[in-house]
Amino acid sequence: MRNRVVCVARWGWISVSVLLAAGGLKSMAWAEELTPFQKAWESIQAKDARQHVTTLASDTFEGRDAGSRGGKAASIYLSQEFRKSNLQGSISPKTYFQEFGNECRNILGLLPGSDPKLKHEFIIVGAHYDHVGYGNQETSNGPVGHIHNGADDNASGVSAVLEIAEAWRTGGLQPRRSILFALWDSEEHGLLGSKHWVANPTCPLTAVRLAVNMDMIGRMTDVPLEVTGTRTLPGLRRMLSAHNRQTNLKFNFLWGVKEDSDHWSFYERKSPFVMPFSGFHADYHRPSDDVDKINFEGIQRITRWMFGVTEELANAQELPRFRPEALQETTPLQQQVEVAARTPEPRLSVKLAPVDAGPGRLLADVFPQSAAAFVGLQPGDRIIRFGDEEIQPQTNLAGLILRTDSPVRVRFIRPGQPQPQRVLLTLLGKPIRIGLNWREDPAEPGTVAINLLEAGSPSDLAGLKINDRIWQINGQDFKNGVELREKLMAAPSPVSLLIERQGQLKIATLEIPDNKKPAIEANAKESQQSATGRESKK
């Protein structure tokens, strides 16, 4: 990855019903005879990634500086690996090298498409193979004068490209679209290799439907994998998450795009891209970025995931085009949009004490000028009946307050009073039976992102969280938030929601009392907030 200051401290995607079937997506519980896809997927192994990274990050290649003796030696090794995968040259059938600059060279291998029409469209799977050699004051974080082997940056990404190419050969698979496997040179000197290619493309730049950039994927930890570029293609986040069913990675989807790796060369030409990144570390652009610190099992998982993505992209009947809105969707805008919506005014404004052995539920506090204070409820009172329901210690009184029609008769016990007291309580707002609101996202049609949850509501108790993405209700897709609302209103309890959280799929089951006519929270508007932060009009 190009050096910078670092502070170290449904357009044909796979069916969700298939994802949730026993064994999940293309299950690892293989039958005796593997399908071609399974054979290819299983062929991607950590041991092979180790071999590639160990070779590229050896002192033999002297840090693979662009145009250097070590860089050229690395390019020969990589071209031999392309030949083993039966890739064709991109410029001519026998030529993998695209020469440029001061003895620099991109390495380009082509897997031609099989569909008479779609073969003229291209998926690019790329990574830069150069590093910073012995380092200098501009490229190294020190000390200079020592070989910087660049095991993570970027032998790790190169190993993924090689393994994906080999998986296609191992499985005997033939894509409908053409796939260009690209290993870029001179990324560390200003993305020169990828910039040269987009200025002198070996296929029409307009025919590139997605560019995959594998850069620094070798240090995966418990921290979510950063994924950039999902805003550039409608539905891309959903597709990436669907293919994560077996690999079970956790993603941090980022909106902002930086000029720090080869994806930028495509992004600024309005070509869709995706880039996974396992994060910066203390060895970044130092001689200590070596093989012993690489997480090869992590590379295997990321590579298998991206192979499934590539296979889907290469064979989809149709792919959408670049979203120009992505050019304005920045990190500050993401932070603004993904903040939780403001909750409506509390209906009762009391604080419940923790469950104890006493009767009903104990009020720990009653807020001034609240509906509860208006009828004389006080801290220390115990509510034993709320409307038609007797209150037990295990009763979800918060949820009952949310969904009950107003006014409601309440019975309570007050310390020092011999008999229970009764009041007619007027709750603020309208009943809230589900406790859920969302925003729609034009980059992800057919999904909504949760931006409001009411504490104690069925949605809260089901474990939903802010920014969870709802994909399905009771196993059914929906086109937009309006259709989801209609399905919620018609569905009997319990309601099953398929959600995506940080790239992982989960089922949330909502137990909705009296679900004959469920309502979204009291402050829900007829228009939903879009991903740009503006209100859409109906």
Token output for 352? 């419940």
pLDDT tens figures, 248-298:
999 999 999 999 999 999 999 999 999 999 999 999 999 999 999 999 999
Assess whether pLDDT exceeds 50 at residue 15.
no
The answer on 491 and 461 residing in a single domain is: yes
- Residues 356, 277 share a domain: no
End-to-end Cα distance, the chain: 45
Crossing angle of the two packed helices 157-171 and 69-84, in degrees rounded to 10: 20
Could you give the percent of the chain with pLDDT greater than 70?
A: 90
Q: How many domains, the chain?
A: 3
pLDDT category, 529, cuts 50, 70, 90? very low
pLDDT mean over 48-53: 98
- The pLDDT of 322-333, averaged and rounded, is 98
Residue 4 included in any domain: no
Rounded mean pLDDT, 209-229: 98
Same structural domain for residues 219 and 162?
yes
pLDDT at 4: 52
Confidence of residue 3 (pLDDT cuts 50, 70, 90): low
For residue 13, pLDDT beyond 50 = no
Chain-centre distance for alpha carbon 75: 33
Residue after which a domain boundary falls, among 303, 320, 337: 320
Determine the length of the chain.
538
- Per-residue pLDDT of 102-151, as tens digits, reads 999 999 999 999 999 999 999 999 999 999 999 999 999 999 999 999 99
Q: At which of 377, 397, 425 does a domain end?
A: 425
Give yes or no: residues 360 and 495 share one domain: no
Is the domain of 146 the same as that of 274? yes
| Dist CA 258 CA 213 (whole Å) | 13
Q: What is the pLDDT of residues 482-498, one digit of tens each?
A: 999 999 988 999 999 99
Residue 424, burial from CB neighbour count under 10 angstroms (0-12, 13-18, 19+): exposed
Same domain, yes or no, for 410 and 447?
no
Residue 21: the pLDDT is 38
Closest-CA residue to 132 (of 216, 49, 61, 60) = 61
> Per the domain annotation, does 284 fall within a domain?
yes
Sorted by sequence, the CB contacts under 8 Å of residue 85 that are 6+ apart come out as: 109, 162, 165, 166, 168, 169, 181
Is residue 55 a part of any domain in this protein?
yes
Residues 310 and 356 in one domain: no
Give me the domain span that covers residue 51.
41-223+255-320
Q: Helix-strand-coil percent breakdown of the chain, rounded to 5?
A: 30, 20, 50
The predicted-structure confidence for 383-417, as pLDDT tens digits, reads as follows 999 999 999 999 999 999 998 999 999 999 999 99
Name the band, by pLDDT with cuts 50, 70 and 90, for residue 535.
Answer: very low
Q: Which of 394, 425, 456 is the last residue of a domain?
A: 425
**Domain annotation covers residue 524:** yes
Asked if the structure places residue 416 within a domain, the reply is yes
For residue 506, being part of any structural domain is answered with: yes
Instruction: Provide the CATH number for the domain around residue 440.
Output: 2.30.42.10
pLDDT at position 432: 86
Q: CA–CA separation, 310 vs 211, rounded Å?
A: 10
Residue 396: inside a domain: yes
Mean pLDDT of 297-316: 98
Report residue 514's pLDDT band, with 50, 70 and 90 as the boundaries.
low
3-state secondary structure 8-43: CCCCCCCCHHHHCCCCCCCCCCCCCCCCHHHHHHHH
Collapsing DSSP to helix, strand or coil, 109 comes out as strand
- Do 199 and 286 reside in the same domain of the chain? yes
The mean predicted confidence, pLDDT, of the chain is 90
More confident residue, 22 or 490: 490
- 110 and 215 part of one domain: yes
Token pair 């030529």: residue: 95
Q: What is the mean pLDDT of residues 305-310?
A: 98
pLDDT band, very low/low/confident/very high, at 345 (cuts 50, 70, 90): confident
- Is the CB of residue 239 less than 8 Å from the CB of residue 319? no
Whether residue 384 sits in one domain with residue 505 = no
What's the CA gap between 370 and 347, in Å, rounded?
A: 8
Q: Is residue 261 part of a domain?
A: yes
| pTM for the whole structure | 0.87
